[in-house]
Amino acid sequence: MHKRLVNHCTIALKLIPDGPILIKSGREGADPTKPQMEFVETYHHGKRSIYLPGSSLKGAIRAHAERIVRTVGRDKRPTNPKLLWANDPLTDDYKYLENKSPSEIYQLSSFTDRIFGNTSIASRLRIEDAYPSSDRPLKLEERNGVAIDRVFGSVAVGPFDYQVCTEGEFITKIHLKNFTLSQLGLIGLVLRDLDDGWFGIGFAKSRGLGTVNVQLESGVVQYPGCILNDGQIQALGSEKTWDITTLLGAGAFLSEDECRKYDFIIDDKEDTPVAAQNMDLGLGVYLLWQGEKQVKDLFTRGVKAWKRHYFEGVAA
């Protein structure tokens, strides 16, 4: 499936600390004036700056996506492949994917593995590193802590000091390629829960660190193999056309045989209030959602497809 590119979604967002957050460096620095646990740093715009690594954000998002799917679906591979399920990446040996064709591997993989990848299929989701915005200055603090011995109630380790960020905002983008609308819906649910503080990012989440607010800036869905023709979206190389205000999942671009082979939803689409426009250079079309309200509307249509996917699996 990754040999073609039928659709691509980019969500631009800001992560705003709702309390102290720390994504710490893996080793202690040589500077004695800095805390023992430092924020990860890199060079950005010509100077050293803290940032939120995309790999850390992706790990937190994947873990919560699996939690959501296990809540309404299964935590083990069911006999009915249409049921939603999420495996345990730490214990799954993926032996059931050995010596299988690409389409069989995709069918046998869990709903979340189809988004984030496993040992046999590539991820279709990518998150950029989140860098500080110049609109809201960062505020870094140093705090102290100790580790308590659970048997004796005394100090086991410490005191130690660590660096946290308590104010500012970080800009990042989430990219999703060859996505189904139900996969887009699940990402929307995860971002909603992150904004509500149901889970956090980085160090010491169980001690109150890591909560952030999510500010949705824009969402762009692109169909690189389509053009606008007579007020409709037309897929090049096929006779498929759709209304100009149609949100299309990957299954909409495939033949019925290909959808059944990979277990994609046939005719995966939703109406939207947003109209498609031509991409640069005159090839490809895109739909643009701007601002918090519109991007939430985009995710709402994805969640609608996700719920339909769930109930169709239960009924099968």
pLDDT in tens, the chain (316 residues): 667 899 999 999 999 999 999 998 776 666 777 778 889 999 988 888 999 999 999 999 999 999 999 999 888 888 887 788 998 877 888 888 898 998 899 989 999 999 999 989 999 999 999 999 989 999 999 888 777 777 777 777 767 788 899 999 999 999 999 999 999 999 999 999 999 999 999 988 888 889 999 999 999 999 999 999 998 999 998 889 999 999 999 999 998 888 888 888 888 999 999 999 999 998 999 999 999 999 999 999 999 999 888 887 666 6
Q: Which domain holds residue 194?
A: 8-311
In whole angstroms, what is the distance from residue 202 CA to residue 56 CA?
A: 7
In a domain, 1, yes or no: no
Name the amino acid, one letter, at 238: S
pLDDT on residue 29: 62
In a domain, 221, yes or no: yes
In a domain, 48, yes or no: yes
Q: Give the global pTM.
A: 0.92
In a domain, 173, yes or no: yes
In a domain, 316, yes or no: no
Cα 259 off chain centre by:
23
Q: How many domains does the chain have?
A: 1
pLDDT on residue 159: 76
Question: What b/e string do you get for 63-83 counting C-beta neighbours within 10 Å, with b at 16 or more?
Answer: ebbbebbbeebbeeeeeeeeb
**Residue whose C-alpha is closest to residue 85's, from 58, 104, 103, 66:** 66
In a domain, 39, yes or no: yes
In a domain, 84, yes or no: yes
Tell me which DSSP letter residue 198 carries.
S
pLDDT on residue 174: 98
265 close to 251: Cβ distance less than 8 angstroms = yes
In a domain, 3, yes or no: no
